[in-house]
Structure 1
Amino acid sequence: MTTVLITGANRGIGLEFVKQYAGEGARVHACCRNPDKADALKAISGDIVLHKLDVSDFAAVKALGQKIDEPLDIVVANAGAGGKDTGDFGGYDFEAFSNLLKVNTLGPVATLEAFGPQLKKAKGKFAAISSQLGSIENASGFAPAYSTSKAGLDMAIKSLAPLFTQAGVAVGLFHPGWVKTDMGGAEAPVTPEESVAGLRKQIAAMTPGEPRLVAYNGDVLPW
Protein backbone atom coordinates (compact mmCIF):
# COMPACT_ATOMS: atom_id res chain seq x y z
CA MET A 1 0.00 0.00 0.00
CA THR A 2 1.21 3.50 -0.86
CA THR A 3 1.42 5.84 2.13
CA VAL A 4 1.14 9.58 1.50
CA LEU A 5 1.37 12.66 3.71
CA ILE A 6 -0.14 15.95 2.55
CA THR A 7 0.01 19.34 4.25
CA GLY A 8 -2.67 21.96 3.67
CA ALA A 9 -5.09 19.12 2.99
CA ASN A 10 -8.38 20.78 3.89
CA ARG A 11 -9.09 22.72 0.69
CA GLY A 12 -8.06 23.44 -2.89
CA ILE A 13 -5.15 21.49 -4.29
CA GLY A 14 -4.42 19.73 -1.01
CA LEU A 15 -7.97 18.47 -0.69
CA GLU A 16 -7.88 17.19 -4.26
CA PHE A 17 -4.62 15.35 -3.55
CA VAL A 18 -6.36 13.56 -0.69
CA LYS A 19 -9.34 12.66 -2.90
CA GLN A 20 -7.21 11.25 -5.69
CA TYR A 21 -4.68 9.34 -3.60
CA ALA A 22 -7.32 7.95 -1.21
CA GLY A 23 -9.51 7.08 -4.19
CA GLU A 24 -6.76 4.82 -5.48
CA GLY A 25 -6.41 3.03 -2.15
CA ALA A 26 -3.49 4.90 -0.62
CA ARG A 27 -3.19 5.48 3.10
CA VAL A 28 -3.24 9.26 3.52
CA HIS A 29 -2.01 11.35 6.42
CA ALA A 30 -3.96 14.57 5.86
CA CYS A 31 -2.62 17.60 7.73
CA CYS A 32 -4.38 20.93 8.24
CA ARG A 33 -4.62 23.67 10.85
CA ASN A 34 -8.21 22.97 11.97
CA PRO A 35 -9.28 19.35 11.36
CA ASP A 36 -12.47 19.86 13.40
CA LYS A 37 -13.68 22.40 10.83
CA ALA A 38 -12.46 20.49 7.76
CA ASP A 39 -15.87 19.14 6.75
CA ALA A 40 -14.97 18.54 3.09
CA LEU A 41 -11.86 16.62 4.14
CA LYS A 42 -13.73 14.51 6.70
CA ALA A 43 -16.33 13.63 4.06
CA ILE A 44 -13.77 11.83 1.85
CA SER A 45 -13.90 8.04 2.06
CA GLY A 46 -10.78 5.97 2.44
CA ASP A 47 -7.86 5.20 4.72
CA ILE A 48 -7.33 8.78 5.86
CA VAL A 49 -5.78 9.92 9.14
CA LEU A 50 -6.29 13.58 10.05
CA HIS A 51 -3.60 15.56 11.86
CA LYS A 52 -3.73 19.07 13.27
CA LEU A 53 -0.72 20.93 11.85
CA ASP A 54 0.31 24.51 11.17
CA VAL A 55 3.50 24.31 9.11
CA SER A 56 4.69 27.66 10.49
CA ASP A 57 4.80 26.02 13.94
CA PHE A 58 8.11 24.29 13.44
CA ALA A 59 8.04 22.53 16.80
CA ALA A 60 4.67 21.02 15.87
CA VAL A 61 6.02 19.85 12.52
CA LYS A 62 8.95 18.16 14.28
CA ALA A 63 6.62 16.56 16.83
CA LEU A 64 4.38 15.12 14.11
CA GLY A 65 7.46 13.74 12.40
CA GLN A 66 8.29 11.90 15.59
CA LYS A 67 4.71 10.68 15.98
CA ILE A 68 4.32 9.21 12.49
CA ASP A 69 6.75 6.32 12.69
CA GLU A 70 6.18 4.54 9.39
CA PRO A 71 7.70 4.70 5.92
CA LEU A 72 6.24 7.41 3.69
CA ASP A 73 6.19 6.86 -0.05
CA ILE A 74 5.14 10.42 -0.90
CA VAL A 75 5.15 13.68 1.05
CA VAL A 76 3.42 16.64 -0.59
CA ALA A 77 4.37 19.96 1.03
CA ASN A 78 1.32 21.81 -0.21
CA ALA A 79 0.38 24.17 2.63
CA GLY A 80 0.82 27.78 1.58
CA ALA A 81 -0.38 31.34 1.98
CA GLY A 82 -1.21 33.93 -0.67
CA GLY A 83 0.32 36.99 0.90
CA LYS A 84 -2.46 39.50 0.18
CA ASP A 85 -2.18 40.87 3.71
CA THR A 86 1.48 41.86 3.33
CA GLY A 87 0.61 45.15 1.66
CA ASP A 88 2.67 46.84 -1.07
CA PHE A 89 6.22 48.16 -1.18
CA GLY A 90 6.40 51.43 0.72
CA GLY A 91 3.85 50.18 3.19
CA TYR A 92 4.73 46.55 3.85
CA ASP A 93 3.36 44.84 6.93
CA PHE A 94 6.63 43.10 7.72
CA GLU A 95 5.08 40.90 10.38
CA ALA A 96 2.72 39.53 7.72
CA PHE A 97 5.62 39.27 5.25
CA SER A 98 7.64 37.32 7.81
CA ASN A 99 4.72 34.96 8.39
CA LEU A 100 4.42 34.44 4.63
CA LEU A 101 8.06 33.34 4.54
CA LYS A 102 7.48 31.04 7.51
CA VAL A 103 4.58 29.30 5.77
CA ASN A 104 5.75 29.22 2.14
CA THR A 105 9.52 28.96 2.50
CA LEU A 106 10.40 27.51 5.89
CA GLY A 107 7.30 25.35 6.32
CA PRO A 108 8.25 22.96 3.50
CA VAL A 109 11.84 22.89 4.74
CA ALA A 110 10.64 21.92 8.21
CA THR A 111 8.39 19.30 6.61
CA LEU A 112 11.28 17.79 4.67
CA GLU A 113 13.43 17.74 7.79
CA ALA A 114 10.73 16.18 9.96
CA PHE A 115 9.70 13.46 7.51
CA GLY A 116 13.05 12.84 5.84
CA PRO A 117 13.68 9.66 7.88
CA GLN A 118 10.32 8.19 6.88
CA LEU A 119 10.99 9.02 3.23
CA LYS A 120 14.39 7.36 3.42
CA LYS A 121 12.81 4.18 4.79
CA ALA A 122 10.55 4.00 1.75
CA LYS A 123 12.96 5.50 -0.80
CA GLY A 124 10.10 7.88 -1.33
CA LYS A 125 9.34 11.17 -3.04
CA PHE A 126 9.10 14.68 -1.60
CA ALA A 127 7.11 17.18 -3.65
CA ALA A 128 7.06 20.86 -2.67
CA ILE A 129 4.32 22.92 -4.29
CA SER A 130 5.99 26.09 -5.56
CA SER A 131 4.88 28.50 -8.29
CA GLN A 132 6.03 29.95 -11.58
CA LEU A 133 5.98 33.29 -9.73
CA GLY A 134 9.07 32.07 -7.89
CA SER A 135 11.06 32.10 -11.14
CA ILE A 136 13.71 34.81 -10.88
CA GLU A 137 14.36 34.73 -14.62
CA ASN A 138 10.69 35.44 -15.34
CA ALA A 139 10.15 37.93 -12.50
CA SER A 140 7.59 40.53 -13.54
CA GLY A 141 7.07 42.48 -10.34
CA PHE A 142 3.68 40.87 -9.77
CA ALA A 143 3.00 39.85 -6.14
CA PRO A 144 6.61 40.43 -5.03
CA ALA A 145 6.14 39.20 -1.46
CA TYR A 146 4.56 35.92 -2.58
CA SER A 147 7.11 35.56 -5.38
CA THR A 148 9.96 36.07 -2.92
CA SER A 149 8.60 33.35 -0.65
CA LYS A 150 8.42 30.87 -3.52
CA ALA A 151 11.85 31.79 -4.89
CA GLY A 152 13.24 31.14 -1.41
CA LEU A 153 11.47 27.79 -1.35
CA ASP A 154 13.00 26.83 -4.69
CA MET A 155 16.51 27.66 -3.53
CA ALA A 156 16.10 25.85 -0.21
CA ILE A 157 14.71 22.64 -1.68
CA LYS A 158 17.16 22.60 -4.61
CA SER A 159 20.02 23.03 -2.14
CA LEU A 160 18.78 20.28 0.19
CA ALA A 161 17.92 17.70 -2.47
CA PRO A 162 21.48 16.30 -2.74
CA LEU A 163 21.32 15.27 0.92
CA PHE A 164 18.69 12.70 -0.06
CA THR A 165 20.03 11.40 -3.36
CA GLN A 166 22.18 8.59 -1.97
CA ALA A 167 19.27 7.43 0.18
CA GLY A 168 17.18 6.98 -2.97
CA VAL A 169 14.75 9.80 -2.14
CA ALA A 170 13.55 12.01 -5.00
CA VAL A 171 12.99 15.68 -4.11
CA GLY A 172 11.15 18.00 -6.46
CA LEU A 173 9.50 21.39 -6.93
CA PHE A 174 6.24 21.80 -8.80
CA HIS A 175 4.12 24.58 -10.28
CA PRO A 176 0.44 23.58 -10.07
CA GLY A 177 -0.76 26.04 -12.69
CA TRP A 178 -3.19 28.88 -12.16
CA VAL A 179 -5.82 26.84 -10.36
CA LYS A 180 -9.45 27.61 -9.65
CA THR A 181 -9.21 27.67 -5.82
CA ASP A 182 -9.84 30.19 -3.05
CA MET A 183 -6.31 31.48 -3.63
CA GLY A 184 -6.33 31.29 -7.44
CA GLY A 185 -9.77 32.78 -7.93
CA ALA A 186 -12.78 31.83 -10.02
CA GLU A 187 -11.23 33.13 -13.25
CA ALA A 188 -8.34 30.64 -13.11
CA PRO A 189 -8.31 28.31 -16.13
CA VAL A 190 -7.15 25.08 -14.46
CA THR A 191 -9.39 22.98 -12.23
CA PRO A 192 -8.02 21.31 -9.09
CA GLU A 193 -8.78 17.93 -10.66
CA GLU A 194 -6.67 18.73 -13.74
CA SER A 195 -3.84 20.22 -11.72
CA VAL A 196 -3.55 17.37 -9.24
CA ALA A 197 -3.86 14.67 -11.90
CA GLY A 198 -0.95 16.30 -13.71
CA LEU A 199 1.07 16.84 -10.54
CA ARG A 200 0.64 13.21 -9.51
CA LYS A 201 1.91 12.13 -12.92
CA GLN A 202 5.01 14.33 -12.51
CA ILE A 203 5.58 13.12 -8.96
CA ALA A 204 5.37 9.50 -10.08
CA ALA A 205 8.06 10.20 -12.69
CA MET A 206 10.50 11.75 -10.18
CA THR A 207 13.89 10.15 -9.67
CA PRO A 208 16.63 10.96 -7.14
CA GLY A 209 18.94 13.75 -8.26
CA GLU A 210 19.00 17.47 -8.85
CA PRO A 211 15.43 18.82 -8.99
CA ARG A 212 13.94 21.15 -11.56
CA LEU A 213 10.90 23.42 -11.32
CA VAL A 214 8.27 21.41 -13.19
CA ALA A 215 4.72 22.45 -14.08
CA TYR A 216 1.74 20.14 -13.66
CA ASN A 217 1.72 19.57 -17.43
CA GLY A 218 5.39 18.56 -17.53
CA ASP A 219 6.87 21.86 -18.71
CA VAL A 220 10.22 22.67 -17.12
CA LEU A 221 10.29 26.28 -15.91
CA PRO A 222 13.37 28.50 -15.53
CA TRP A 223 14.79 29.23 -12.11
Structure 2
Amino acid sequence: MTVVITGASRGIGAGLAAHYREAGLDVMGTGRSLTADITLDVTHPSGHTEMAQALGDKPVELLVCNAGVYLDKGDDIETGYGADLWAQSFATNVTGVFLSIQALLPNLKRAGSPRIAIISSQMASSEHAPGGSYIYRASKAAVLNLGRNLATDLKSEGIAVGIYHPGWVQTDMGGDAAAITVDEAVSGLTRRFAALSLATTGCFETWDGRAHPY
Protein backbone atom coordinates (compact mmCIF):
# COMPACT_ATOMS: atom_id res chain seq x y z
CA MET A 1 0.00 0.00 0.00
CA THR A 2 1.36 3.41 -1.00
CA VAL A 3 0.56 6.52 1.03
CA VAL A 4 1.39 10.05 -0.15
CA ILE A 5 1.37 12.81 2.48
CA THR A 6 1.88 16.46 1.63
CA GLY A 7 3.52 18.68 4.23
CA ALA A 8 5.24 15.68 5.83
CA SER A 9 8.40 17.45 7.00
CA ARG A 10 7.08 18.34 10.47
CA GLY A 11 4.11 18.30 12.81
CA ILE A 12 1.10 16.17 11.98
CA GLY A 13 2.41 15.28 8.52
CA ALA A 14 5.67 13.95 9.93
CA GLY A 15 3.75 12.03 12.58
CA LEU A 16 1.48 10.44 9.97
CA ALA A 17 4.46 9.48 7.82
CA ALA A 18 6.22 7.85 10.78
CA HIS A 19 3.06 5.95 11.74
CA TYR A 20 2.56 4.47 8.29
CA ARG A 21 6.24 3.61 7.91
CA GLU A 22 6.18 1.77 11.22
CA ALA A 23 3.20 -0.16 9.88
CA GLY A 24 5.35 -1.29 6.94
CA LEU A 25 3.62 0.78 4.26
CA ASP A 26 5.28 2.52 1.33
CA VAL A 27 5.22 6.21 2.30
CA MET A 28 6.09 9.17 0.11
CA GLY A 29 6.20 12.38 2.11
CA THR A 30 6.43 15.75 0.42
CA GLY A 31 7.81 19.00 1.73
CA ARG A 32 9.70 22.11 0.72
CA SER A 33 12.84 20.71 2.36
CA LEU A 34 15.35 18.83 0.22
CA THR A 35 15.27 16.07 2.84
CA ALA A 36 11.66 15.18 1.94
CA ASP A 37 10.99 12.04 -0.10
CA ILE A 38 9.58 14.33 -2.80
CA THR A 39 10.44 18.04 -2.76
CA LEU A 40 7.20 19.94 -3.30
CA ASP A 41 6.00 23.47 -2.72
CA VAL A 42 2.27 22.95 -3.20
CA THR A 43 1.87 26.51 -4.51
CA HIS A 44 3.99 25.70 -7.60
CA PRO A 45 2.07 23.86 -10.35
CA SER A 46 5.29 22.50 -11.84
CA GLY A 47 6.07 20.78 -8.55
CA HIS A 48 2.90 18.73 -8.76
CA THR A 49 3.85 17.57 -12.25
CA GLU A 50 7.27 16.53 -10.94
CA MET A 51 5.63 14.68 -8.02
CA ALA A 52 3.43 12.71 -10.41
CA GLN A 53 6.44 11.91 -12.59
CA ALA A 54 8.38 10.69 -9.54
CA LEU A 55 5.54 8.29 -8.67
CA GLY A 56 5.20 7.04 -12.23
CA ASP A 57 2.53 4.35 -12.57
CA LYS A 58 2.56 3.46 -8.85
CA PRO A 59 -0.99 3.06 -7.46
CA VAL A 60 -1.71 5.39 -4.52
CA GLU A 61 -4.20 3.99 -2.03
CA LEU A 62 -4.19 7.00 0.30
CA LEU A 63 -3.42 10.66 -0.42
CA VAL A 64 -3.31 12.90 2.66
CA CYS A 65 -3.48 16.60 1.79
CA ASN A 66 -1.92 18.02 4.93
CA ALA A 67 0.25 20.94 3.78
CA GLY A 68 -1.11 24.20 5.14
CA VAL A 69 -0.27 27.62 6.53
CA TYR A 70 -1.79 29.94 9.16
CA LEU A 71 -0.36 33.33 8.27
CA ASP A 72 -2.87 35.70 9.88
CA LYS A 73 -2.68 34.44 13.46
CA GLY A 74 -3.11 37.43 15.77
CA ASP A 75 -3.75 39.95 12.97
CA ASP A 76 -5.83 43.00 13.80
CA ILE A 77 -8.91 43.84 11.71
CA GLU A 78 -7.89 47.50 11.50
CA THR A 79 -4.34 47.00 10.24
CA GLY A 80 -3.81 43.33 9.38
CA TYR A 81 -5.00 40.72 6.86
CA GLY A 82 -2.93 42.05 3.97
CA ALA A 83 -3.84 41.06 0.44
CA ASP A 84 -0.57 39.11 0.12
CA LEU A 85 -1.56 36.93 3.06
CA TRP A 86 -4.89 36.11 1.42
CA ALA A 87 -3.14 35.11 -1.79
CA GLN A 88 -0.46 33.01 -0.08
CA SER A 89 -2.95 31.27 2.22
CA PHE A 90 -5.38 30.29 -0.51
CA ALA A 91 -2.52 29.19 -2.79
CA THR A 92 -1.39 26.73 -0.13
CA ASN A 93 -4.55 25.74 1.72
CA VAL A 94 -6.94 25.47 -1.25
CA THR A 95 -5.27 25.56 -4.66
CA GLY A 96 -2.38 23.42 -3.43
CA VAL A 97 -4.81 20.75 -2.27
CA PHE A 98 -6.64 20.70 -5.58
CA LEU A 99 -3.41 20.54 -7.59
CA SER A 100 -2.14 17.62 -5.48
CA ILE A 101 -5.34 15.68 -6.07
CA GLN A 102 -5.47 16.54 -9.76
CA ALA A 103 -1.85 15.46 -10.31
CA LEU A 104 -2.29 12.11 -8.58
CA LEU A 105 -5.72 11.17 -9.94
CA PRO A 106 -4.22 8.62 -12.37
CA ASN A 107 -2.34 6.98 -9.48
CA LEU A 108 -5.44 6.95 -7.27
CA LYS A 109 -7.50 5.37 -10.05
CA ARG A 110 -4.97 2.53 -10.29
CA ALA A 111 -5.50 1.59 -6.62
CA GLY A 112 -8.04 -0.88 -5.29
CA SER A 113 -9.91 1.27 -2.77
CA PRO A 114 -8.41 4.76 -3.11
CA ARG A 115 -9.01 7.41 -0.48
CA ILE A 116 -8.23 11.12 -0.20
CA ALA A 117 -7.97 12.70 3.25
CA ILE A 118 -8.05 16.51 3.38
CA ILE A 119 -6.87 18.17 6.59
CA SER A 120 -9.12 21.16 7.17
CA SER A 121 -9.99 22.55 10.62
CA GLN A 122 -12.86 23.20 13.00
CA MET A 123 -12.23 26.82 11.99
CA ALA A 124 -13.83 25.96 8.63
CA SER A 125 -17.24 25.71 10.27
CA SER A 126 -19.82 28.38 9.44
CA GLU A 127 -21.89 27.34 12.46
CA HIS A 128 -18.99 27.99 14.83
CA ALA A 129 -17.93 31.54 14.00
CA PRO A 130 -16.25 33.24 16.98
CA GLY A 131 -14.50 35.83 14.80
CA GLY A 132 -10.89 36.58 13.97
CA SER A 133 -8.38 34.64 11.84
CA TYR A 134 -10.43 35.56 8.79
CA ILE A 135 -7.96 34.36 6.19
CA TYR A 136 -7.27 31.00 7.79
CA ARG A 137 -10.95 30.40 8.50
CA ALA A 138 -11.94 31.33 4.94
CA SER A 139 -9.27 29.12 3.37
CA LYS A 140 -10.21 26.13 5.52
CA ALA A 141 -13.90 26.68 4.74
CA ALA A 142 -13.00 26.76 1.04
CA VAL A 143 -11.07 23.49 1.21
CA LEU A 144 -13.98 21.91 3.10
CA ASN A 145 -16.25 22.97 0.24
CA LEU A 146 -13.71 21.67 -2.27
CA GLY A 147 -13.56 18.31 -0.54
CA ARG A 148 -17.32 17.95 -0.38
CA ASN A 149 -17.66 18.65 -4.11
CA LEU A 150 -14.77 16.36 -5.03
CA ALA A 151 -16.47 13.61 -3.03
CA THR A 152 -19.50 13.95 -5.30
CA ASP A 153 -17.53 13.99 -8.55
CA LEU A 154 -15.05 11.23 -7.65
CA LYS A 155 -17.54 8.76 -6.20
CA SER A 156 -18.23 7.32 -9.64
CA GLU A 157 -14.47 6.74 -9.98
CA GLY A 158 -14.48 4.72 -6.76
CA ILE A 159 -12.47 7.35 -4.87
CA ALA A 160 -13.62 8.29 -1.37
CA VAL A 161 -12.90 11.77 0.03
CA GLY A 162 -12.94 12.74 3.70
CA ILE A 163 -12.34 16.11 5.35
CA TYR A 164 -10.95 16.24 8.89
CA HIS A 165 -10.37 18.50 11.86
CA PRO A 166 -7.10 17.20 13.32
CA GLY A 167 -7.67 18.68 16.76
CA TRP A 168 -5.85 21.54 18.45
CA VAL A 169 -2.41 19.94 18.26
CA GLN A 170 0.91 20.75 19.94
CA THR A 171 2.81 21.75 16.80
CA ASP A 172 4.53 24.92 15.61
CA MET A 173 1.11 26.04 14.35
CA GLY A 174 -0.92 24.93 17.36
CA GLY A 175 1.54 26.02 20.06
CA ASP A 176 2.61 24.39 23.31
CA ALA A 177 -0.73 25.13 25.01
CA ALA A 178 -2.70 23.03 22.50
CA ALA A 179 -5.02 20.33 23.78
CA ILE A 180 -3.51 17.15 22.27
CA THR A 181 -0.15 15.79 21.19
CA VAL A 182 0.86 14.90 17.67
CA ASP A 183 0.73 11.21 18.62
CA GLU A 184 -2.86 11.56 19.81
CA ALA A 185 -3.86 13.37 16.62
CA VAL A 186 -2.14 10.77 14.44
CA SER A 187 -3.75 7.88 16.30
CA GLY A 188 -7.21 9.34 15.80
CA LEU A 189 -6.72 10.51 12.23
CA THR A 190 -5.34 7.20 10.99
CA ARG A 191 -8.41 5.45 12.39
CA ARG A 192 -10.62 7.94 10.55
CA PHE A 193 -8.73 7.40 7.29
CA ALA A 194 -9.02 3.62 7.64
CA ALA A 195 -12.79 3.91 8.12
CA LEU A 196 -13.28 6.19 5.10
CA SER A 197 -15.25 4.54 2.31
CA LEU A 198 -17.62 5.37 -0.51
CA ALA A 199 -20.42 5.02 2.04
CA THR A 200 -18.97 7.88 4.12
CA THR A 201 -17.40 9.97 1.36
CA GLY A 202 -17.82 13.71 1.86
CA CYS A 203 -17.69 13.39 5.66
CA PHE A 204 -16.38 16.23 7.84
CA GLU A 205 -15.13 14.62 11.03
CA THR A 206 -12.97 15.37 14.04
CA TRP A 207 -9.80 13.44 14.79
CA ASP A 208 -11.66 11.47 17.48
CA GLY A 209 -14.53 10.38 15.25
CA ARG A 210 -17.29 12.94 15.80
CA ALA A 211 -19.23 14.45 12.92
CA HIS A 212 -18.31 18.14 12.75
CA PRO A 213 -20.92 20.86 12.08
CA TYR A 214 -20.51 22.55 8.73
TM-score range, shorter chain: over 0.9
TM-score normalised by structure 1 residue count: 0.90
Query: Does the alignment pair 1:82 with 2:70?
Result: yes
More divergent stretch after superposition (61-70 vs 157-166): 61-70
| Distance verdict in 2 for CA 1:85–1:147, change over 3 Å | closer
Q: Secondary structure at the match of 1:126?
A: strand
Query: In 1, are the aligned partners of 2:75 and 2:133 still within 8 Å (CA)?
Result: no
Q: Across the two proteins, how many residue pairs are aligned to each other?
A: 210
- d(CA) in 2 for partners of 1:169, 1:129: 17
Partner of 1:216: 207
Identical amino acids, percent of aligned pairs: 34
Partner of 1:163: 153
- d(CA) in 1 for partners of 2:31, 2:140: 20
Partner of 2:4: 5
Unaligned runs of 5+ in 2: none
CA offset at residue 84 of structure 1? 3.0
- Which residue of the other structure, out of 15, 21, 38, is the alignment partner of 1:51? 38
- Which residue of the other structure, out of 34, 47, 53, is the alignment partner of 1:66? 53
Query: In 2, are the aligned partners of 1:104 and 1:149 still within 8 Å (CA)?
Result: yes
Partner of 1:45: none
- Which residue of the other structure, out of 90, 103, 108, is the alignment partner of 1:101? 90
TM-score normalised by structure 2 residue count: 0.93
More divergent stretch after superposition (101-110 vs 201-210): 201-210
Unaligned runs of 5+ in 1: 39-49
| Cα offsets for 1:2-29 (capped at 9, x unmatched) | 1100011010000000110000000111
| Cα offsets for 1:103-143 (capped at 9, x unmatched) | 01111111111111111111311001000000011111131
- d(CA) in 2 for partners of 1:15, 1:125: 19
Q: How does 1:139-218 map to 2 (within 5 A)?
A: 139-208=129-198, 210-218=201-209
Query: In 2, are the aligned partners of 1:86 and 1:97 still within 8 Å (CA)?
Result: no
| Distance verdict in 2 for CA 1:16–1:88, change over 3 Å | same
Please provide the CA RMSD for this pair.
1.5
Q: Secondary structure at the match of 2:129?
A: coil
Paired AA for residue 9 in structure 1: A
| Distance verdict in 2 for CA 1:64–1:86, change over 3 Å | farther
Query: Does the alignment pair 1:30 with 2:29?
Result: yes
- Which residue of the other structure, out of 111, 117, 120, is the alignment partner of 2:100? 111
